Structures are given as C-alpha cells and as structure tokens.
Chain A
C-alpha cells in the first residue's frame, strides 16, 4: 500500500467502511442463522426479542442433513453446476479471448449477437427449451441442466472475460510472439495466467448463477431424487401456506457456507498471488 499507513488512516480507509459493509451485507444472513437455530414455535412469539436465541437447537440442521434428501440435492446441484461451469468457462475463455484480443472481420457483430441472445429471459425461454430437452431425451437427467445452463452462462462469461482480457496489456503477448511463441502458446503461457483473477471471478459467477438457478431446474429436472437445492427446499419446506422457517434458513446456510469457503481460497489466491505477480510484469 502506498501512503501513510497510520492507524487512523487505516481505520478510515479499511475498517470503518468494512464494518459498514459487513453490517449491511451480513445482517440478513445473521438473521437466517438466528432463525435456523430457533424452534419454529418461538419464532412467531412477539413477546420475545427476535434476536435472542432462547432454547437454541440444532434440530433443524439435524433434520435437514439426516432426515431430508438435502444431501442428495447438494450432490445434484454440485454435479450440474460444476458440469455447466466447466463447459461454459471453456467455451467462454475461447470466445472472450477471440473477442477481446483478436482483430477479425465480424468480431463485433458476433459479440453483439451473443449478447443479444442473453436478452430473452428464462421465464419465456423455458417453454421452447423444454421441447429441445425432451427431443434430446434429456428430461430429468443431469445433462438437461448441464447443457442448458451454458445458454445463459456463456454469453455472460464471454463478455466478462473479454473485458478482463482487454485489461492485460497487449505488449506482453506481442513480446512472446516476437520470441517465437505461437499464438496459442502466448495465450496459454502469458495472457491466461495474467487474466487468472478474471477467469476465477468468471468461474465464481458461473458457479453461483448455476447454483441458484430455479426455473430450469424445476421444469427440466425436478423429478424424484433429481431436485437441486433451491427446488427441493421450496418444494419440501413450504407446505401450502405454512413455511418451515427453521428448515428453510438452515438449508440456506448449509447450502451456501461451504461454497463461500471454497471461494475464500479462490479469491485469496488471486488477490494475494497476483498483486505480487503484477509488479513483475
């Protein structure tokens, strides 16, 4: 960091804003945690302080993990999301690279076309897509989602990656070409490592968008054991007009904290690794 590293400066630039952000971003999450640790009976009692956890219980988590298909939903979601993320990322790196760094005829047009595809919302698309899914015989199989999620992941990730590739200075790549590397080598060895933060963040976004997706998961794969976390939770823990808040919130927490931990490593890697790396470049 540049500048005076005094304590007050640090407070002003780091800890105070961080605390404010945390208060806003984590408040609903803290509420979910509180609810998940309470018996549902106490939740509706206005005589109590809503933040106080009288009679804390892990019963919701126990029911979630041992007495509901939640672990299976996690597995399903993981398979689908990882599959879709890998496919989307592979396609998007190539497209983003071509759009971001190559000059070729029709490049802009293709970029805009891919973008336009993104503008039709899933609330409409799921009907015609269902015909394709069933024509390929994919209904209620992992492939139904692994292959349809990229339709909304690729346009997004391609554009984002294009943006990241453009932030890498062109000179480095050209220097490699002068040194006799092929274009693919230059891309693989020079540009991609430098764009790693971008690639990782695109991966995070793809994974999360897939992890959260509801409508396609509901209509293309929601049968039997094949539910994803959002679909399963909403189907099983809301009964007519009664919400099982404890279970719902426990599922929200159990379904996101492991992902957050995984992200912690990814983000940490690129932030610390590359602030060091960038100075070399």
Chain B
C-alpha cells in the first residue's frame, strides 16, 4: 500500500520485488499464466460478444430496419440525423443530469452506509441484508412500486405530506419535467446505494486494522484515519464501482421505461429509453447510432477514472 503516512508505516515487509522471477516452469511465469487465465472468459466473450459488438457498430452506419433483409451502408448519416434531432439533444442533456445528479449521491451515501455497516452491532447480518433489498428486488417490480409511490392520486408520500399539513394538493411527481427528473433520480439513488455500500464494505475488509490502531494511538482524528488509512485501500474499488455506476446510469432503461417512458414531452428520455423507442419502429440502424452515441462520453469517463487507477501503481 502506498499512501500511508510515515508515522504509521508498518515494519518493512519482505522486499517485494526481489522475489526470483525467472523460474523455468512456464506456469510460474507471470505472462504465460496471465494469458492462460484469460482464455475461458475470452472464449465466451468472443463467441457471444465479438460478433454482436462489431455488428452493432456496423449497423449504426446503415439504414437497416428490423425484419427487412435489404439495407444500405449510409456512412455517418444516422449520426448526422441525431445532430439535428432536438429530442436527441434533450436526451443527451437529460442523461447528463441524470448521471451527474445520481452518481455522486449514490457514491457518498453508499460509502457512508458501508462505513456504518462496517461496525460491530447486534443483528448486524439481518440489517445488512435488509438494506440490500433495494438492489435485490427485481427492477421490473420495484419500478412498479415507485410508480405507485409517485402516483398523482394514490401516492402515500403525498398522503403523508398532506396529513402533516405541508401541502394541500398531491405532489405532481411525474407530470412536470423538473419533478419527473427529480423523482427518477430519487428512485435511481434508492436502487443504487446498496451496490456502492456492499462493494465498498467488502473493500473495507482489507483495511489493515493495525494501521488504524497505530494511527489512533498517534492521535489521528477519525477523519485523518479515514483519509490516510481507509481511503487508500478502498480507492481502487471506489473508482471501479463509480465507473460501473456511471455506465449503468447512462444506459438505464427499465426504471425510466416503467415510470415515464421518457415523458412528459421527452423531458426524461435518456440514451437507453430513446434507443429502445427507436426500435419501436424497427429502425435498428438508427437505434444503434443512438446507443453508440453514449460511447464517447463513457469512454472519456472511463479514461479519466482508469488514469486514477494507474497513478496508484
């Protein structure tokens, strides 16, 4: 581990890099073994992903319609169409709002939950599993629960607020662009917190306790200990979890599909729902171009976050 302050550095361990590396048995050398380890996963991915992936990119350059055998290569026309498509512009904006609002919340709240759950307490296993439920309930069904919670008439949230005298009319959760986006973000954060919490909780198990104790004895505050001992250990995990959360959020489909289908008046379309809507009239080439338009954005985030990971090595 790299970024531990000098005062709490453990006694130097075995000089790590002097281990003999040039052993003769090939399976003890890193590179051949590494390639060997890749084989099963790679086979599966190549068999099932390489073709669809390549085809997906190719289709985005064609006017392919579902169910029609003939189609033409049209170059970047689909993408040019999107550049002039107001709904698509709105989709891009919506996706960024959706992603940038929810991911930080999920990260911070998930990290907080992980730290809370990492303590010893009674009934801890039941409580830990219970708090995982938002992630376990099939989204197809939990989205329907949110549909009820956001219902203009039946919403129990509105009922409570009315009982408390905070509002006189039911909240219009999904019928207004801003409210609808906020409601979707709320449901998305709800669903996403456990993922961060559990992945970080698992990472916390590798935090060396003796460092923590040594730092505490040195009079480090809990915030200092968190920054200098805990955070370096879980940083990789946090970065990776954030990365995947961004991807999932950008490509989110089911929650929005159930709650608004991108409405009202396209106010909540994201890439996933817009691409799916395009499939509704069979325009596969166009749908592919919508879906793949995410690619550069996600690639940029990925590059930024991956650089974070590298700098650690």
B35 touches A (CB below 8 Å): yes
Q: Are A51 and B129 in contact (CB under 8 A)?
A: no
Choice from A98, A112, A163, A201 contacting B236 with Cβ under 8 Å: A163
For B100, what are the chain A residues with a Cβ–Cβ distance below 8 Å? Answer: none
CA distance in complex: A128, B128 (Å)? 40
Q: Are A252 and B142 in contact (CB under 8 A)?
A: yes
Interface residues of A in 158-194 (CB under 8 A from B): 158-160, 162-164, 166-171, 174-175, 177-178, 182-184, 194
For B129, what are the chain A residues with a Cβ–Cβ distance below 8 Å? Answer: 260-261, 263-264, 267
Q: What residue of chain A has the Cβ atom nearest to residue B158's Cβ?
A: A50
B74 touches A (CB below 8 Å): no
Choice from A167, A174, A257, A267 contacting B237 with Cβ under 8 Å: A167
Q: Are B244 and A255 in contact (CB under 8 A)?
A: no
CA distance in complex: A125, B276 (Å)? 11
Q: Are B138 and A211 in contact (CB under 8 A)?
A: yes
A204 touches B (CB below 8 Å): yes
Q: Are B148 and A31 in contact (CB under 8 A)?
A: yes
B251 touches A (CB below 8 Å): yes
CA distance in complex: A134, B20 (Å)? 50
Interface residues of B in 165-224 (CB under 8 A from A): 190, 193-195, 198-199, 201-203, 205-210, 212-213, 216, 222
Q: Are B132 and A260 in contact (CB under 8 A)?
A: yes
B69 touches A (CB below 8 Å): no
B40 touches A (CB below 8 Å): yes
CA distance in complex: A234, B145 (Å)? 13
Q: What residue of chain A has the Cβ atom nearest to residue B128's Cβ?
A: A267
Interface residues of B in 58-115 (CB under 8 A from A): 59, 66, 109, 112-113
Q: What residue of chain B has the Cβ atom nearest to residue A168's Cβ?
A: B206
Q: What residue of chain A has the Cβ atom nearest to residue B66's Cβ?
A: A127
Task: Say yes or no: A197-B206 contact (C-beta < 8 A), given A124-B275, A150-B44, A177-B19.
Answer: yes
Q: Are A95 and B38 in contact (CB under 8 A)?
A: yes
For A44, what are the chain B residues with a Cβ–Cβ distance below 8 Å? Answer: 154
Q: Are A268 and B298 in contact (CB under 8 A)?
A: no
Task: Say yes or no: A28-B134 contact (C-beta < 8 A), given A167-B203, A214-B140.
Answer: yes
Choice from A124, A154, A163, A263 contacting B203 with Cβ under 8 Å: A163
Interface residues of B in 18-63 (CB under 8 A from A): 19-20, 25, 27-28, 30-31, 33-35, 37-38, 40-42, 44-45, 47-49, 51-53, 55-56, 59
Segment touching B, from A10-18, A53-61, A63-71: A10-18
Q: Are B14 and A205 in contact (CB under 8 A)?
A: no
For A167, what are the chain B residues with a Cβ–Cβ distance below 8 Å? Answer: 203, 206, 233-234, 236-237
A62 touches B (CB below 8 Å): no
Q: Are A104 and B30 in contact (CB under 8 A)?
A: yes
CA distance in complex: A115, B33 (Å)? 21
Interface residues of A in 16-67 (CB under 8 A from B): 17-18, 21-22, 24-26, 28-29, 31-32, 35, 43-44, 46, 49-51
Q: What residue of chain B has the Cβ atom nearest to residue A99's Cβ?
A: B34
CA distance in complex: A175, B287 (Å)? 53
Q: Can you name 26 A-B residue pairings with CB atoms under 8 Å? A: A1-B119, A21-B109, A21-B116, A25-B194, A26-B130, A31-B148, A94-B38, A117-B53, A119-B247, A128-B55, A160-B237, A160-B244, A164-B206, A167-B236, A197-B206, A204-B198, A212-B140, A233-B141, A249-B144, A256-B137, A259-B136, A260-B132, A264-B128, A270-B202, A270-B205, A278-B206
| Extra inter-chain contacts (15) besides given A31-B148, A267-B132, CB under 8 Å | A17-B116, A28-B134, A28-B142, A35-B145, A119-B294, A123-B279, A128-B59, A154-B41, A170-B16, A175-B14, A183-B30, A201-B198, A267-B125, A275-B205, A281-B208
Q: Which 9 A-B pairs have the closest CB atoms?
A: A91-B41, A264-B129, A268-B125, A128-B52, A252-B141, A201-B202, A94-B37, A104-B31, A230-B140
